Amino acid sequence: MATEQSKLKSQPHQIEDMHGGPTQYGAIPPTGSSDDEPISSTFEDRVAIPTDDSEIFSFRKLWAFTGPGFLMSIAFLDPGNIESDLDSGAIAGFQLLWVLLWSTVIGLLLQRLAARLGVVTGMDLAEVCKREYPCVPRTILWLMIEVAIIGSDMQEVIGTAIAFNLLSAGRIPLWGGVIITIGDTLIFLCCDKWGLRKLEAFFGFLITVMAVTFGYEYVTVAPNQAEVLKGMFVPYCRGCGSAELEQAIGIVGAVIMPHNIYLHSALVKSRQIDRANNREVKEANKYFFIEASIALFVSFLINLFVVAVFAEAFYGKTNMQVRQQCNESGSSYAGLFPYNNETLEVDIYKGGAVLGCYFGPAALYIWAIGILAAGQSSTMTGTYAGQFVMDGFLNLRCSRFARVLLTRSIAIVPTLLVAFFQDLKDLTVMNDLLNALQSIQLPFALLPILTFTSLTRVMHDFANGLVWKIGGALTILGICVINIYFVVVYVTGLNSIVVYVISALLSIAYVIFVIYLAWKCWIALRASCLHV
């Protein structure tokens, strides 16, 4: 698809300012900043959209809009999600597939809000936050989202390092794999030089690799299809306890990620849209939603493959059974599983080992290739997210290489420390910590996106209607409650007085800031009685 080499000269909407007077969105001064501060722009080359007004639906236009949704969907397939999937299958069998399905649907609806914000305003969520929030709140928001990106990137980099370790039969240590992934920066910059469409094609190739490899595991294990369908469409969990409940909460937290909202709102800016033309904006919203739906359907199938494989083959298995099987198959990974009859606990490292013990070395290596594709693609989109967030909140004026190197280093340094001092056998504990860390960041993405997409002076004719306002508020409230419960369960399980005290102090500041964001959101939802 052809691209325009010059920057898009879009005309901003005429909208109302805080006092009801007409103005242009691009002329709204950021709260607490100068009027002449320019809007940062990452995409100088934008994909041109074919003009064909005679058709209600055009595959040529859908193809032109295809790309941002698939890049966004990679966050649904990162190593953290894969580990959540296999844990769910091994602990609860097929019984939580319906949670995965509805989490993906909810994720799609939230990503729709992010895409609409970028399409309608021509700015991503970070840029709008910079304009609309005062200095202190937007600085806190930036820091919190950076923490979420670092936590996600650590999972992705370590997942990639684990894949290298499995593919090399343990010859490449965890820290060695992390060092190899530093090359992602150079790969990212090289791919970016190819052009936007080629970069999107590269990510499409990595998603295809995941679909083929995890699909191979699915065909090899051959799960009971009746149980798969029952698990997807019948909400049940017979005999479930706290372990299964934690897995259900973990699925929600792994699928809906805060930095992905910021990422998607920025990716849609890569298409050439005349924002002064309501018909073009409406059309872009339609095609981006269709594309995101297809992308998340593919990601759901890949996640389904992983859950079903571990539900069919390893649900109810004990450590002793797995160890005996590994010994019989001559696997070198038998030592990973202790001599006891406790229920098997797996992560992406042990998961590959278990597949190798039961289904042969091919299953192990193909699993590792899938994890490598998941880690490689998600680390690169994580770099993208970090770049967009820093550009939007800070309006950085430096070279692309410097920006990418900075955002990459922020995640690589702590990951290297973990890789040096953490054993592969203990990575599940670290993964739970990172999941909890990202869970508490969710309000810092969900509340702003609902706030700004509900403001008429920001979204003009495309502001959320009553159904979206009420439904979005209830959905976000439910997600935040679920994830905060997950964090509380995790913290109380640490059994440390020091951790309890520190958590209590931090939670006070956390709750105050969330209340501030919720208050702003409430005002945007036209609760004028609270408008001071």
Q: Which of 44-58, 89-103, 144-158 has the lowest mean pLDDT?
A: 44-58
| More confident site: 106 or 480 | 106
Burial of 530 (0-12, 13-18, 19+ CB in 10 A): exposed
pLDDT of residue 133: 93
pLDDT digits (tens, 9 = 90+) for 179-190: 887 776 666 666
pLDDT of residue 424: 62
Say yes or no to pLDDT of 33 above 80: no
pLDDT digits (tens, 9 = 90+) for 407-422: 667 667 777 777 777 6
Cβ distance 167 to 370 under 8 Å?
A: no
Distance between CA atoms of residues 374 and 380, nearest Å: 10
For the segment 189-205, the average pLDDT, to the nearest whole number, is: 80
Mean pLDDT across the chain: 82
pLDDT of residue 404: 67
Both tokens assigned to 316: 């109810």
Say yes or no to pLDDT of 30 above 50: no
3-state helix, strand, coil in the chain (%, to 5): 75, 0, 25
Indicate the DSSP class of residue 271: B
Q: Which of 335, 334, 337, 330 is nearest to 361 (CA)?
A: 330
pLDDT digits (tens, 9 = 90+) for 290-308: 999 999 999 999 999 999 9
Distance between CA atoms of residues 421 and 436, nearest Å: 21
Distance between CA atoms of residues 98 and 234, nearest Å: 7
For the segment 185-196, the average pLDDT, to the nearest whole number, is: 69
CA neighbours within 13 Å on the CB side: how many for 510?
A: 17
pLDDT of residue 482: 79
pLDDT of residue 27: 34
**pLDDT band, residue 484 (cuts 50/70/90):** confident
* Residues comprising the chain, all counted: 532
For the segment 152-163, the average pLDDT, to the nearest whole number, is: 85
Distance between CA atoms of residues 292 and 399, nearest Å: 31
pLDDT of residue 434: 75
| More confident site: 86 or 383 | 86
pLDDT of residue 225: 94
